[in-house]
Chains A and B, each alone.
Chain A
Amino acid sequence: MSTPVPISLVVNGEAHDLVVPPRKLLSDVLREDLNLTGTHVGCEHGVCGACTILIDGRPARACLTYAVQLEGHELTTIEAVAEGDTLSPLQQALHEEHGLQCGFCTAGIVMTFEAYLRENPAPSEAEVRDVLSGNLCRCTGYQNIVTAVLKAAEAMRGGRGA
């Protein structure tokens, strides 16, 4: 059970060969083995959404996934969202609209909506709130996050904003 096994996976475009115990959570492997500490662990039972990352482009809970399940998969974490010093339109909108306070849940929310806005470039407020309900935020009351996501969607569609 605890004998480490080798795995190969791609994280943020970089290939990694790792040796990890089968029970080690993906969130712990990202944080401890790859030093990608932007992925946060808030509940370790899949409710809070803070650890959300992209597996092959789709949002997933890193705390409910074992790293050994990821052999051959491509992962994207918060560290790869901005391009150099340029924030993504979503990150920029969250900054301008004060859509974050303590920042602990923020990475999970950014990853959730980086994927969702590609799938649905013109969401309604109700749709944004529905998707956001998978991420808990204790600081903001969500209002500014919703505003920021709608603003980012508009900017990404080529409208004014962000």
Chain B
Amino acid sequence: MTTETPFTHIGKPLPRKEDRRFLTGKGRYLDDVVLPGALQVSFVRAPHAHARIAAIDTEAARALPGVLGVFTGRDLAQWTAPLRLAPPIEGLHPVEMTTLPIDKVRFHGDPVAVVVARDRYVAEDAAELVEVSYEPLPCVADTAAALAPGAPLVDDTLPDNLVSHQSFRAGDPVARRAEAARVVEARFDLHRHTHVPMETRGCLADWDAGRSHLTMHIGTQAPHPMRSQLAARMGLTETQVTVISPDIGGGFGQKIALYREELTVAALSRHFGRPVRWREDRLENLTSASHARETHCVTRAAVRADGRILGLELDLTEDFGAYCFYPANYMARVIAMILTGPYRISDYAFDVKVVLTNKCGNGPMRAPMAITSWVMEGTIDAVARELGLDPVEVRRINAVRPADLPFTMPTGEVLEDVTPLETLEAAVAAIDVPAFRARQAQARAEGRLLGLGLCTVVESTTYGSEFYKAAGIPGSGHEAAWVRIEPSGAVNASVGVMGSGQGYETPLAQAVAEGLGVTPDMVNVHMGHTDIAPYGMGSRGARGATAGGGTLYLCAQKAAEKVLAIAAGMLNLNDAQGLRLQDGQVERRLEDAWQATGVSLADVARRAYLDPTALPEGIAPGLDVSLTYDPPAMTYSNSTHACEVEIDPATGRIAIARYVVAEDCGTVLNPLVVKGQQQGAVGMGLSGALFEEVIYDESGQNLTATLADYLVATACELPNIEILPMHTPNRKTPAGIKGMAEGGIMGSIGVIAGAVNDALAPLGVTAEQMPLSPQRMRALMRGAGNFTYGTSFSDPGTTAHDTTTHGTPGNSDGRTGRA
């Protein structure tokens, strides 16, 4: 993976610094942080999806030896402020929630009371003894029920369950329908997922009564926003709260918001004047932490006979669950905004509805816009299928070409320095599509089901402040960093992002090393401690490299300027022109070569700190530099995924024969880490597309509360991924960084659906609903009229598309509880 770059340290595949401690059992995760005398909590959770809380009897629980107290929503309401979310976004209802529910519970797993005890075993015993009397209310089990006239209200303060509704139109898609040779409609139903970090949530709150100061140990992707939230809701100033994030055992978006349990624990620590800790168990994590997705999309593409898309319309409905920890339009909006992605479409409309139901609340999960590429590429495949065209050709005829850049999407999003057509061609070439089609035809003649999927992804990676402002969402996309060269010449640095396992320590050290002119092993990047790190916006989306790395790189460059100004003085030069710092040594350009000066960074640092009167005129003592940076409104990476599958007609098992990703994510800080992110994202996406599913029954009971029910893919189910790396730098970001790590989810969901539907084409059925489980595959095949074992299949180009399965997947898949 060698690429020619102008960099010395950026782009090197250095193994990670954090590995050694993780490999030897010396990592320090939340549960490894021990404070003497810490109390433990256990939450009492609702067994109903929707019910009034009539009474809570805590007497038996409080009587248990070792129990220090049992508290409810009314107690927490005295100690903490409610969360109010009311961004000025048209069509979005403001919402408010108390720290724990007081009047009613809204989903199976909603916390209604908390037990504080001397250890976790006793706390869990006591939680069993808390008797809550409920008056069950009708359950709003899905979006159809939620939107029905007279539906019960999930949130009693809202006029209805449609918490957010936005429409948009560019050009005239309705007129394009009239001009079209065909209007192709396609449906996409991405089921409910949850994040499943291997380390569940948890926190250790430590109230120091003497200093009136809260220290919150918590694995969080966004330490400073977490501090702001804690301070505001506890009635404290931001000088009174320190958030410390230890090593995090995975986040994937689940560890951003301040959850109700965490605020409760902080309030209890203040109440007792003692450390209080909470370790979520896996049942709680699966049922009550945060869910994601459950998005239903319908597209209508107005197309010419040659497959060129004239206009596109999207109807999107998201089942958001019962509570809003984020503005409800947040995830769905991004899907609609970037849907057209790699294709030249100018006439576009969307209608996006976000609906409350009696399920666990949704949040962003790697990638919040996960369904996007499936919807767009599935639409393209539907066009090819209905018009009898080659799906590769339909992609080519619609693709954004190099000459089209910069390309403005119909929603106003601007694509620059992206290469979707190039990644498509690279993936198509790697697969050798004609050879595959020959194998496929042969296999079909033998009664076997082979399929090829293609999915081009345009991944929104780094959200700058301009994006938030345009979206009407309060907040910022900027990032902050400092770089300090200590008197010995050692380099400390810090930034506001916080990794949750990606491996930030090495790539971010490479960014500092590059900007400053030292080696990465001289740099230690400190993250996750709000008293050490500058106020940054944390890790979300794919901003770690562009916002985190970019800010550190610029800050290190600024530090280098000062170092060289001091070095110039030491070398009796008028200025730093012709000087550079390389691997910690000051070099001077003489004629055409860089030559050693004998001055090291340590020499400069010693003078800056210990002999400041010798510094050049106007240079202040010390080497302590800070900087903030706001990335462009949006940066994009792009990729094309290609995947070959074979479906076993007898069992419905999908075997992945080959998986290729051509990905252009610009300048990469560390290709080893990037490749790990690419493989990991594809793995997570496939796991979700094939196996994982949060299932609620019609009464709102969560049926997938263990890892034996919520199925995460194992090593036996996931393929090896072939990566074709491409590196077109973004000309507007520091070092040309673009960011990545969520596109693999988007691509894998889209490509596996495309491959499966290509395989199913001879049967005339189309999978429109995920997960693509063996049961669903078998149901689809059973529903195909022309399917019997051992018979050969005709060429799909001549098979009529059977629309009888469209729109009724719930009837054909043999499962209950799905609308």
Contacts and interface: CB of A to CB of B under 8 A. Distances in A.
Contact of A47 (B27, B680, B706): B706
B406 interface: no
At the interface, is chain A mostly helix, strand, loop or mixed?
A: loop
A45 B248 contact: no
B24 A40 contact: no
A101 interface: yes
B675 interface: yes
Contacts of A100: 19, 22-23
Interface in A38-76: 38-45, 47-48, 50
Contacts of B716: 129-130, 132-133
A144 B676 contact: yes
Given A48-B198, A138-B684, A87 B715 contact: no
A2 B65 CA distance: 12
Interface stretch (A78-86, A115-123, A153-161): A78-86
Interface stretch (B86-94, B499-507, B586-594): B499-507
Interface in A2-22: 2, 21
A145 B681 CA distance: 15
Contacts of B684: 138, 141
Nearest to A87: B23
A102 B249 contact: yes
Given A98-B672, A104-B199, A137-B198, A44 B249 contact: no
B468 interface: no
A101 B501 contact: yes
Given A41-B31, A138-B684, A141-B684, A102 B500 contact: yes
A2 B118 CA distance: 14
A29 interface: no
B282 A79 contact: no
Contacts of A107: 25
Interface string B94-125: 00000000000000000000000000010000
A139 B252 CA distance: 9
Interface string B1-31: 0000000000000011011111111111101
A139 B501 contact: yes
Interface in B123-148: none
Contacts of A41: 31
Interface string A133-147: 111111111111110
A103 B26 CA distance: 10
A110 B20 CA distance: 13
B250 interface: yes
B715 A38 contact: no
B64 to A, nearest CB: 11
B19 A136 contact: no
A26 interface: no
Contacts of B28: 37
Given A45-B706, A138-B252, A140-B680, A102 B24 contact: no
A143 B659 CA distance: 12
A143 B713 CA distance: 13
B714 A138 contact: no
Pick from B15, B18, B250 the residue with the most CB of A within 10 Å.
Answer: B250
A91 B684 CA distance: 24
A78 B20 CA distance: 12
Given A104-B29, A132-B714, A132-B715, A95 B683 contact: no
A82 B24 contact: yes
A139 B680 contact: yes
Interface size class of A (residues with CB under 8 A): 35 or more
Quick one: which of B19, B26, B32, B198 has the most chain A CB within 10 A? Answer: B198
A44 B501 contact: no
Nearest to A108: B198
Contact of A36 (B25, B196, B676, B720): B25
B573 to A, nearest CB: 44
A80 to B, nearest CB: 9
A81 B22 CA distance: 12
Contacts of B715: 128-130, 132-133, 135, 142, 145-146
Contact of A143 (B22, B198, B679): B679
Contacts of A44: 281-282
B718 A94 contact: no
Contacts of B200: 42
Interface string B31-47: 11000000000000000
Contact of A101 (B121, B502, B708): B502
Contacts of A137: 198
B739 to A, nearest CB: 17
Contacts of B682: 141
Contacts of B23: 82, 87, 91, 94-95, 100, 103, 106, 110
Interface in B418-465: none
A79 B24 contact: yes
Contacts of B721: 141, 143
A162 interface: no
B247 interface: yes
A79 B32 CA distance: 14
Contacts of A21: 121
A102 B498 CA distance: 12
A31 B718 CA distance: 32
B197 interface: yes
B232 interface: no
Contacts of A98: 15-16, 503, 672-673, 675-676
A142 B22 contact: no
A101 B680 contact: yes
A142 B249 contact: no
Contacts of B249: 40, 42, 102-105
B199 A42 contact: yes
Nearest to A133: B714
A103 to B, nearest CB: 3
B522 interface: no
A142 B676 CA distance: 10
Contacts of B248: 102
B53 interface: no
Contacts of A105: 198, 249
A130 B721 CA distance: 18
Contact of B19 (A50, A95, A138): A95
Given A101-B676, A104-B250, A144-B676, A138 B24 contact: no
Given A95-B15, A102-B501, A132-B715, A40 B676 contact: no
A150 to B, nearest CB: 12
Contacts of B708: 45, 47
Given A103-B247, A143-B718, A79 B29 contact: no
Interface string B183-209: 000000000000011111000000000
A31 B31 CA distance: 9
A37 B19 contact: no
A136 B18 contact: no
Contacts of B675: 98
Contacts of B490: none
A81 B712 contact: no
Given A82-B23, A138-B712, A103 B18 contact: yes
B707 interface: yes
Contacts of B199: 40, 42, 102, 104
Nearest to B672: A98
B718 A37 contact: no
B27 A38 contact: yes
A153 to B, nearest CB: 15
A111 B9 CA distance: 34
Which 9 residue pairs spanning A and B have beta carbons closest together? Answer: A38-B25, A102-B501, A141-B683, A103-B22, A104-B249, A78-B25, A133-B714, A47-B707, A132-B715
Given A42-B282, A103-B22, A144-B676, 6 more contacts: A2-B121, A40-B31, A40-B199, A82-B24, A103-B249, A138-B250
20 contacts: A2-B121, A39-B25, A48-B282, A82-B23, A91-B23, A94-B19, A98-B16, A101-B250, A102-B248, A103-B19, A104-B198, A104-B501, A128-B715, A133-B715, A136-B707, A136-B712, A138-B712, A141-B679, A141-B683, A143-B679
